[in-house]
Structure 1
Amino acid sequence: MATISRGIKAPIIREGDDIVSIVCDCVLSASKEQGFTLRDRDVVAVTEAVVARAAGNYATIDAIAEDVRRKLGGNTVGLVFPILSRNRFAICLRGIARGARKVVVQLGYPSDEVGNHLVDIDALDDSGIDPYKDVLSVAEFRRHFGTPLHPFTGVDYISYYTQLIEEEGAEAEIILANRPEAILAYADKVLCCDTHTRFRTQRRILAAGADVCLTLCDILNAPVNGSGYNEKYGLLGSNKATEGVVKLFPNNAQEVAEAISARLCAATGKRIEAMVYGDGAFKDPVGKIWELADPVVSPGFTDGLNGLPNELKLKYLADNDFANLKGDELRSAIENAIRKKDADLKGSMATQGTTPRRLTDLLGSLCDLTSGSGDKGTPIVLVQGYFENYAD
C-alpha cells in the first residue's frame, strides 16, 4: 500500500464531549462505510482544536488580565515580537492591555517570526534603514513606508494593535526593532510574545537588565479563577474562540492519544498509533508565511511515532550504486539495499536529500494539509501505509 491520508468527518465537538469515543467511533464507522481495513501501524490523528474544545480549555480576557497584573505589576508592560494575527494574538493582546496601564509593543520588521510582513523586504532594502540596529517609531515607519496592509487580511497591524490596546483602557506605543533589548528603553517588565525564538529573546533581555522578563508560556500556565490553562505552554498555541475568550492548547493531548490508540487496538487487534496535531510545519512559498504558529506540531503522540525516518534516497541508488542496472534487476537490487540498510543511516551519502525531520512533524503537517482549517469538517485524519517502503 502506498501512503494514504484520509480525512474523516466528525460531529461538531462541544465542551464535555468524550473526544476519545468520538474519534474511535468515527474511524470505525468510516472503515465499515467506506470499505477500508485498519492495519498495523496505521496512524489516527485528531486536531488539537477539538481536543481542547472537548476539555473546555478556555480562558477569558479577564483571566489573562489578572495573570498579567499578578506577574508583571499592572503598570507599563513591554511586549516583544508578537505574531501579526487576529486569530492568534489579538484577543491575548486585549487581555494583556486590560491588565496594564501602558503597553509598549515591539514589532520585528520586515515581518514577524512566521513571515507575516509589515513591509515588503525590497522596500526595506531601498529605504536605507538598517534592520539590525535601527529602532523606528510609528511616525518614522510611516514616513518611509506609508501604511502597508497585510497582503492576505488587508489589515494595518500597527493601527489595529494600537486600537485594541486603547479600547481596553491602556496607553499604547508601538516601536519597530529587531534587537530584543531595545524594549528596555521603554519598559523593564517584559513579556516575550514570540513562539519559536522565545527563550533566546528572553535570555537576551534578562542579560540586558530587565526587572522581569516572561514568555507567553508563563501566562495562564495555571488556572486563574477557574479558567483553562496550559501548564507547559500557557498562552502559546491559543487562538480566538470569541471576542472575549481564547481557546488554549490542550493539556490532555498525551492522554487522549494514548487512549485512542488503546481503544482502537482493542477493537481491531491491530497496533494503531495515535497523535494530536496542530499547525503543520510548512511554509507558503507565495505568501511567505510559515504555518507553524503553535509551539509544537504535536503535543501528544504514542511511542511508535517517536524519532526520525531512516530512509535511503532511491534516485541516488539508481544513479550511483546501481547505475548499470534496469528493470527487474534494478528493482531487486534496490529492494535488497532497503532490506539491508543500517538502523541509523545518518551521514550516509545514500540518504542525501531525504531531509530527516521528526515523524510527528511530518505526519502532523500531512494531517494539517488534509484536514484544512476551514469547513471540511474532518478534524480526524487516518494515515495508512506511511511506514511502508519500496521493498514491502
Structure 2
Amino acid sequence: MPNKEGHRHFGNVRKLPSGRFQIRYPGPDGRMRNGAETYPTRPVALRALSIIEGQITRGEWVDPERGKVLLRDYADRWVTQRPNLRPRTVELYRMLLRNHITPYLGGVPLGKLSTAMVREWRAELLGKGRSVSTLAKAYRLLRAVLMTAVNEDNILPRNPCRIPGAGTESPAERPTLTVRQMYDLAGEMPDRLFAFVLLTAFASLRYGEVTALQRMDLDLVACTVRVRHAFVRRPSGELVYGPPKSKAGLRTVSIPSGLVPVLRRHLDEFVDAEATALVFTGPKGAPLKRTNFNELSGWKEAVARIGKPDLHFHDLRHSGNTWAAAAGVSTRDLMARMGHDSMNAALIYQHASTEADQAIASALDARLAEVQDGDDQAGDDPEDGPAGARVPVA
C-alpha cells in the first residue's frame, strides 16, 4: 500500500503540478522509468502501476521507450542484421519495404501499430490495384519484422499482423512442358544453349546453379552432375560465384544417359579444356547473366514458337521436378534431388537415397529415348549427324 508520499513496494506515484498523477517504476533491468501517460486520480494511477508490475512478473512487459522507434528504421535494421539472407532475398525485401510498406507505415512508431492500421494499409493498397500476390509477400515480410519485435526485442506485446489469409497467395498454375515440348524448345534456342535447356530441366537445376557448372562437375561416365556453386546477383548487379542457395543445394544429381551425347558435343564445341571452365557461357565466354538471358537467347520468340508464350525459365526446373515426381520416389528423395530445404534438411542432405535418385534418372531416360528414337527414325539421312547430336525436331 502507498504511504503518505505515494511510495509503495513496487514503484511510486506522484502528483504533478497539473493535478494529474504520474507513475514511476523499475524495469526488469533495474532502470527507473516514468509511465508513458498520466492519470486523473491516484487510485487509477495505482491500478496502472499494479498492471505493469504483473506484466513484468509474467514476462509480458514491453519498454514504452523502445516502442517509439519508427517502423522504417526498425525494418531497415532488421534486413541489415538478418543472418544468412541471400543477396536476391535482401533485394526483394528492400523493394517490398520501399514500394509497399514504408510509404504508408514507415513513419509510425512500433508501439502505435495496430491490427486496424495494418488492415487499413492492406485495403488501401488493394484499392490502388496492387496484386494479391505482391501484397501477400509484403504482409509476410511485415509480419516477420514485427514478430522479431515481439519475440526477440520485447518491443511489442503481440504482433499486430493478425489478418486471416493476408499472407496467403494463390499464384496461377505454372506451365509444365512434356519431354517432347522440352526438346522442341531446346531446338529453338541458339546452338550453345541447346544442352543448357535440356540439362536444366532433366537435372532440376536453378538458373544460378546451371550457369555456375564447371567442366569438372559433369561426370559423363557415371551420368551425374555435381552442384557445388551458384551464381548470385547482388543488388548492384554484380555476379557473385559462391555456394548454392542452401546446404541442401550441395548435391549430386543423376541424369539420363540419353543426355550424355548431347553434353559431349556441347563440351567439344563450346567449352574450354580446363577442368574449371564454365560449361555454359555467352558467345564471348562470359557467364550467362539472368538479366540479359532473354535477349541473348531469343527466349520470348522461342517459347512463342512452341506455343508456350507465358513460359518462364524457372518452368524448366518446374517441369523437371514434375517428371521426377512421376517416377514414384519418396518426397524426401525428391526434395534431395531438387536441393530443397525442409524441417528435416540435415536428414535429407545426409541420407538421401542414391538408388532412388538413379531411379528418377532411369525413368527420365526412358522418356528421353522415346523422343530421340523418334528423331532418329525421322532422319536416317547421314547428313543428320552422329547419334546424340542436335537434330531438328519436327
Q: Give 1 or 2 for the bigger CA radius of gyration.
A: 2
TM-score over 0.5 for the alignment? no
- Scaled to the shorter chain, the TM-score interval is under 0.3
Richer in strand (by share): 1
User: Comparing both structures, which one devotes a greater share of its residues to helix?
Assistant: 2
TM-score by length of 1: 0.20
Higher-RCO chain (CA-CA 8 Å, sequence separation at least 6): 1
